[in-house]
């Protein structure tokens, strides 16, 4: 069905477009954009865009799916529903499924989940076999299968393996994403006054900064571009800012919940705020937001990770890390940063759509004539309550359970786009 969206706020961070107008979509392509269009035809579906935003579909850098291996947590169909509900036209999922996405056959199997007119799911290919960090996969072979890049979603502790990874992938244009984290250092709350006040075992900042420093040294030697994922501390922001000033080829991302919460929000010991890496201190949270705004950090990732009710209905200290987010990130980031005018709508869309695509070396969606319509119609004023019914899932694995929030995706257009 062709679409006519009337008098909508058109946002496009790629061209810096921010205007009110009409948009006509025919056969999956943006055919016309004007202040006002005169459109007729029985095959045209009309959308009243007043008060809404029409913008490129969002891109999630990394999230986790329960299928295959943990379908009781979330199936691919449920993940697809969550992505569409949240305005994400492309979701890149981590390879740590069972079995892992570590062979060409596994990549092909995952890609068959993509269906026309639905959000695209793009797989990261595993760096190591089974994402166990012991032996490298056949990186060259895996790189020719349609993966978006290489990532384990787990820290890679072996420095010699990191060297080989960066060397072996020099000839490939696919991105490499790595999580700087020392799993040998234990703790469930970032070290600071709140960890002491709440009686939670503390995790020192060096659990992130020490492996980050070592990784930056390897990048300085090889000059192989790397994406740094799950950045969570102020000191890490400083290190990345310095690395970029030296010309190192790095990009970096922070997850949405690390922008909205800190250790100061753990008073209720909510298992949904048990994350990996753990929430930073209030000073970390401020530095992450500032780092995003000044370009030290490039993009926001969702890192969507659903667990069953039984898995999360335990004390904070033993709950598995992770929370749902695909349905919630856009409205809550809008509510927190755009509504009070700290960020413009274009800024938010840059962090959630344009820059994630650039970090992945994939073509960003855009609102331009004769381009594929990969768009989302978002109403920032539509209020709804976060429940299992509204989320379309079996569990409410989020700190926003039963709360009323503002902002809802009204419609999505997904067309073929080059990756």
Q: Looking at the annotation, which residues are catalytic?
A: 303
The DSSP bridge pattern shows strands 120-125 and 226-228 to be unpaired
In the numeric block, the tokens 């922070």 are attached to: 254
H helices of 199-262, where? 206-222, 234-245, 256-260
Asked if residue 334 lies in contact with residue 316, where contact means CB atoms within 8 angstroms, the answer is: no
* Closest by Cα among 409, 412, 406, 410 to 384: 406
CA–CA gap between residue 259 and residue 284 (Å, rounded): 9
E strands, 140-186, in order = 149-150, 177-178
Classify residue 302 by its DSSP letter: -
Q: Are 56 and 374 in contact (CB under 8 A)?
A: yes
CA 163 – CA 160 distance, rounded (Å): 5
Question: Cα–Cα distance between 36 and 184 in angstroms, integer?
Answer: 60
In 3D space, the residue among 214, 201, 290, 218 whose CA is nearest the CA of residue 254 turns out to be 290
The dihedral region occupied by 187, where left means phi > 0, alpha psi between -120 and 50, and beta the remainder, is left
The Cβ of residue 246 has, within 10 Å, a number of other Cβ atoms equal to 10
The length of the chain is 419
Q: Identify the burial level of 35 via C-beta atoms within 10 angstroms of its C-beta, where 0-12 means exposed, 13-18 middle and 19 or more buried.
A: exposed
Angle at 353 between CA 61 and CA 81, to 5 degrees: 70
Burial classification of residue 5, based on how many CB atoms lie within 10 Å of its CB (0-12 exposed, 13-18 middle, 19 or more buried): buried
């Amino acid at each position: 069905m062709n679409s006519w969206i009337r008098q909508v706020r058109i946002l496009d961070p790629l061209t810096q477009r921010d205007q009110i107008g009409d948009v006509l979509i025919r056969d999956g392509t943006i055919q016309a954009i004007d202040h006002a269009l005169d459109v007729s035809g029985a095959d045209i579906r009309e959308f009243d865009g007043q008060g809404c935003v029409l913008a490129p579909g969002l891109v999630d850098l990394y999230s986790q799916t329960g299928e295959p291996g943990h379908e009781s947590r979330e199936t691919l169909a449920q993940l697809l529903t969550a992505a569409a509900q949240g305005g994400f036209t492309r979701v890149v999922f981590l390879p740590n499924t069972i079995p892992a996405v570590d062979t060409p056959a596994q990549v092909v199997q995952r890609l068959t989940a993509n269906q026309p007119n639905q959000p695209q799911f793009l797989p990261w290919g595993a760096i190591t076999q089974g994402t166990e960090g012991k032996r490298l996969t056949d990186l060259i072979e895996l790189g020719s299968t349609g993966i978006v890049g290489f990532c384990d979603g787990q820290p890679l502790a072996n420095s010699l393996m990191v060297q080989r990874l960066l060397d072996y992938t020099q000839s490939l244009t696919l991105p490499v994403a790595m999580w700087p984290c020392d799993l040998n250092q234990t703790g469930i709350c970032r070290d600071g006054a709140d960890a002491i006040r709440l009686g939670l075992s503390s995790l020192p900042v060096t659990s992130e900064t020490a492996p980050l420093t070592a990784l930056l040294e390897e990048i300085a030697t090889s000059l192989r571009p790397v994406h740094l994922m799950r950045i969570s501390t102020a000191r890490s922001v400083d290190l990345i800012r310095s690395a970029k000033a030296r010309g190192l080829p790095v990009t970096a991302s922070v997850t949405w919940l690390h922008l909205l919460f800190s250790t100061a929000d753990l008073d209720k010991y909510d298992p949904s705020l048990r994350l990996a890496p753990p929430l930073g201190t209030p000073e970390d949270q401020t530095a992450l937001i500032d780092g995003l705004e000044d370009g030290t950090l490039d993009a926001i990732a969702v890192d969507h990770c659903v667990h069953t009710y039984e898995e999360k209905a335990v004390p904070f200290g033993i709950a598995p890390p992770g929370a749902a987010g695909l349905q919630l990130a856009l409205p809550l980031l809008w509510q927190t940063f755009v509504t009070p005018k700290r960020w413009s709508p274009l800024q938010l869309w840059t962090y959630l759509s344009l820059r994630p695509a650039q970090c992945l070396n994939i073509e960003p969606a855009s609102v331009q004539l004769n381009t594929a319509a990969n768009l989302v119609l978002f109403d920032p004023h539509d209020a709804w309550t976060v429940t299992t019914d509204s989320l379309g899932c079996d569990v409410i694995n989020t700190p926003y359970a039963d709360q009323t929030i503002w902002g809802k995706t009204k419609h999505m257009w997904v067309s073929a786009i080059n990756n």
